[in-house]
A and B are shown apart, each in its own frame.
Chain A
């Protein structure tokens, strides 16, 4: 799993509150990704990073922001959580293009 740790693993939060999910890697891979997984949709890309302070939007980026101030950490923030953001969130990394991705174990987020 290329040393990826996601925290927290489970979280329940109220609508309208900010939430930050953390992805920490020990391998110092350049590329990191945040996906969400929902029934019937598979994995959808939220944001990704191709280096420190270099990030880009994915398919479902509305309502989410990210930050990568150092190589090992990639943070995903829900500025004001909504029920539609209830999902399982996965972080992944790769060392370079044309290589496999390694996934964390996921964070199950419930917005009530």
Chain B
């Protein structure tokens, strides 16, 4: 079964608002990553947070990680119409050579 589960499945907001997406996972991890996918395109890496980190920022993105709750959140501040996309969390397990396991994603729609 899939490791990560994003919540909500879909999110609609207005430009300028903040968007928060959550990810829960099941087993111990080395890191958790967030990816973005525009319709019909490949995935693009946004941010990686290691298991010993609690918060990370990149531009308008803020990611938190709570390993005790096995959960992460992605906050996009001051959303723009161009942020409209699907967002996926992915986890890398602690065993050497383990692959990235993705969740089902959150579809974000930002209207102007």
Residues on A close to B: CB < 8 A?
1, 31, 33, 35, 40-45, 48, 50, 56, 58-59, 90, 92, 94, 97-106
Contacts and interface: CB of A to CB of B under 8 A. Distances in A.
Interface size class of B (residues with CB under 8 A): 20 to 34
Nearest to B102: A43
Nearest to B31: A98
Given A42-B103, A43-B88, A97-B30, A59 B2 contact: yes
Interface stretch (B44-52, B63-71, B75-83): B44-52
Contacts, number: 68
Given A41-B104, A106-B42, A98 B99 contact: no
Contacts of A106: 40-42
Contacts of A31: 97, 99
Contacts of A98: 30-31, 48, 50, 92
B1 A59 contact: yes
**Closest 8 pairs between A and B when the two form their complex, measured CB to CB:** A42-B104, A103-B42, A100-B45, A43-B102, A48-B99, A103-B43, A50-B97, A105-B42
Contacts of B97: 31, 50, 56, 97
A59 B92 CA distance: 14
B2 A101 contact: no
Contacts of B105: 42
B37 to A, nearest CB: 9
Given A50-B97, A101-B43, 12 more contacts: A31-B99, A42-B105, A45-B100, A45-B102, A56-B99, A59-B1, A94-B100, A98-B31, A99-B48, A100-B33, A101-B33, A102-B45
